[in-house]
Amino acid sequence: MIVKEEFLSRLRQFFGLNLYEVRIWTALLSRGVSTAGELSDIGNVPRSRTYDVLESLEKKGFVVMKLGKPIKYIAVKPEEVVERVKKYIHADAKVKVTRLDELKGGDVLKELNLLHKQGIEFIEPTDLSGAIRGRHNLYTHLETMIKNANESVVLVTTNKGILRKVDALKGELKKLNKKGVDIKIAAPFSKESKNALKDMMKIGAVRNLDKKDMNARFCIVDGKELMFMVLDDEEVHPTYDIGVWINTPYFAGALNSMFDIAWNNMDDGEKVLGKL
């Protein structure tokens, strides 16, 4: 049996298996029913590990041990495995979320907050900065920044970026809007992003950003905290997208002032939207 490493790698990601597990499982799928020794040879897994691997796969619902001697294993249909893994992931996630919810107001979270507070007191303002890699991580950090806003949020993004921000940040921005936080969003208008722009207009002020005047992606919160993306989202894969986060009133405030000048020269969002 020859299974490409690329395919095995994809299976590991989908089903949360380690290398030996995925090799034994695919080996068993290719045979239907087999002994541990045969699977060890086919999957190129050490015999000393094969029984442990099969026991793990059995617990996860990938295989069934056949009664009788010699002991053989039966492969469960892949469609059934998918359903079992889905149920397992849902159940596991539910347990983990419950545990995390139990931390709120508890001694553990109080101790963690105390450690963080004590640590922050020794940090120089210039140390409150970092590079964030991967678009998923960027949006997770953006959400955290926005969640803590008290006065203002400035979002400058691209045509495709506005679509992503509606999906990722709309919920938090709605909450800020109800709290009276000033929200300004600048993005290039297009037919592709028309619906996303309409959604954002219900939350804050939105104006048309001409790429000739400013082609950038950044977020400023309360004129103190800043994140800016260093690469063009048209040219970089989401996995390799990079952002720089800085907690500095001096620089963020300066950029906020420059943005206000540009903002006053941008076209009103509703007028531009009506022409699309």
CB-based burial label for 64 (10 Å; 0-12, 13-18, 19+): middle
Over residues 145-172, the pLDDT tens digits come to 999 899 999 999 998 999 999 889 999 9
Q: Determine phi and psi for 186, rounding to 5 degrees.
A: -120, 125
The pLDDT value given to residue 204: 92
Alpha-helical regions (H) of 4-134 = 5-15, 19-31, 36-43, 47-60, 78-103, 107-120
Of residues 61, 53, 55, the one with CA closest to residue 82: 61
Which amino acid does the sequence have at 101? D
Q: What DSSP element (H or E) covers 271?
A: helix 269-275
Q: Could you tell me which residues come within 8 angstroms of residue 74 by beta carbon, excluding any fewer than 6 positions away?
A: 28, 32, 33, 63, 64, 65, 66
Cross-strand bridge partners of residue 268: 207
Whether residue 127 has pLDDT greater than 60:
no
Stretch 116-141: mean pLDDT, rounded? 72
The pLDDT value given to residue 162: 92
Whether residue 67 has pLDDT greater than 90:
no
The pLDDT value given to residue 194: 87
Which DSSP state fits 74? E
CB-based burial label for 177 (10 Å; 0-12, 13-18, 19+): middle
Which amino acid does the sequence have at 199? D
Say how far apart CA 218 and CA 210 lie, in whole Å: 15
* Pair of tokens at residue 21: 């597990």
Over residues 28-54, the pLDDT tens digits come to 999 889 999 999 999 999 999 999 999
CB 133, CB 242: distance < 8 Å: yes
Whether residue 26 has pLDDT greater than 70:
yes
- Residues 166, 208, 236, 6: is their CA dihedral positive or negative? positive
Over residues 211-258, the pLDDT tens digits come to 777 889 999 999 999 999 999 998 999 999 999 998 888 889 999 999
Cβ–Cβ contacts within 10 Å for residue 3, how many?
16
Q: Which residue is it, tokens 């950090």?
A: 141
**Domains in the chain with CATH codes:** 5-78 (1.10.10.10), 125-275 (3.30.870.10)
* Pair of tokens at residue 157: 């993004």
- pTM comes to 0.60
CA distances 229 to 114, 129, 157, Å, are: 32, 14, 10
